[in-house]
A = this chain, B = another copy of it.
Amino acid sequence: MLDRTSDPDHHRSVITFAGDAESVLESAVRGAARAAELIDLNQHRGVHPRLGALDVLPFVPLGDATLADCAALAHRAGQRIWQELQIPVYFYQAAALRPDRTLLEKVRRGGFEELRDSVLVDETNSPDLGGPALHPTAGAVIVGARPVLIAYNINLATSDLAIAKCIARAIRASSGGLPCVKALGLALASRSQVQVSMNLTDFNVTPPHVVFGEVSRLAAAAGVTVAESELIGLVPRKALEMAFADSLRLPGFGSASVIENRLADRP
């Protein structure tokens, strides 16, 4: 296990683990089982959208693994989750079985409370495995495969949710903002702050420091300041190298400029 991030307002934990394919598969299925034992979505409240006790299970290629390897693993995990736990499964992104299920947010739209009812009347909403009814307490698991994604949140020193929603709309790719950025405006009641909660789906296109600069600019224009930002899970080294090169105006800077990278490359 590489990382766990939990948050009282999201009421959600993100757990990052790595290993060989079989270990990761086994761990994922056990994690799904334990989440279903512990969490009853009928009792659960949180500001982040969710469909399942284990809400989303993305397999991510590291090292020599490919996205196709991860998609195959996602399909095996989904089969086991349905067969062993009787929790229905949707497949998304590189593991999607239907073109309209490529985007996670489209699969999750409406969340547990809405989808629980709509699957019974509209079969286009049916899970890919199991269903049509969702599991009564654990909902459904959205299983996928995707490249590394950076989950990145910026907290604003205001409790005005409209400002976070406005900034989220301005920067999200789907409304003409920054490419490869998904964004929501959320309230963090426990901190009396609001948050621009983001997924950077390709940090090579839009890295975190560019998002920070743009959100800071929009926040300043709205008369508020950035309180802090946070990463959910881990960040790839290259995102740091990109930030360093840009913010210090180092035109020739790259991975090969870092001592440890060069020493690791030695024969």
- Whether B258 lies near A240 (C-beta < 8 A) is yes
A121 to chain B: which residues have CB within 8 Å? none
Residue A222 is within 8 A (CB to CB) of chain B in the complex: no
Interface centre among A237, A251, A252, A260 (most CB of B within 10 A): A260
Residue on B nearest A252 in the bound complex, by CB: B230
Write out the residue numbers on chain B whose beta carbons fall within 8 Å of the beta carbon of A240: 240-241, 243-244, 258
A221 at the interface (CB under 8 A from B): no
A18 contacts chain B at the CB level, 8 A cutoff: yes
> Is the beta-carbon distance between B260 and A237 smaller than 8 angstroms?
yes
Q: CB-defined interface of A238-258 with B at 8 Å, one 1/0 digit per residue?
A: 011101100111111100011
* Interface residues on chain A, size class: 35 or more
Q: Are B235 and A249 in contact (CB under 8 A)?
A: no
Chain A to chain B contacts (Cβ below 8 Å), 19 pairs: A2-B263, A3-B257, A18-B263, A208-B248, A209-B244, A209-B248, A226-B249, A227-B249, A228-B249, A230-B252, A231-B257, A234-B257, A234-B259, A234-B262, A235-B258, A239-B244, A243-B243, A243-B244, A243-B247
Taking the complex as formed, is A236 at the interface, i.e. its CB lies under 8 A from any CB of chain B?
Answer: yes
Q: A18-B266, A209-B248 are in contact. List 13 more A-B contacts (CB 8 A).
A: A2-B262, A18-B262, A226-B249, A227-B249, A230-B252, A234-B257, A234-B258, A234-B259, A235-B244, A235-B258, A235-B259, A237-B260, A240-B241
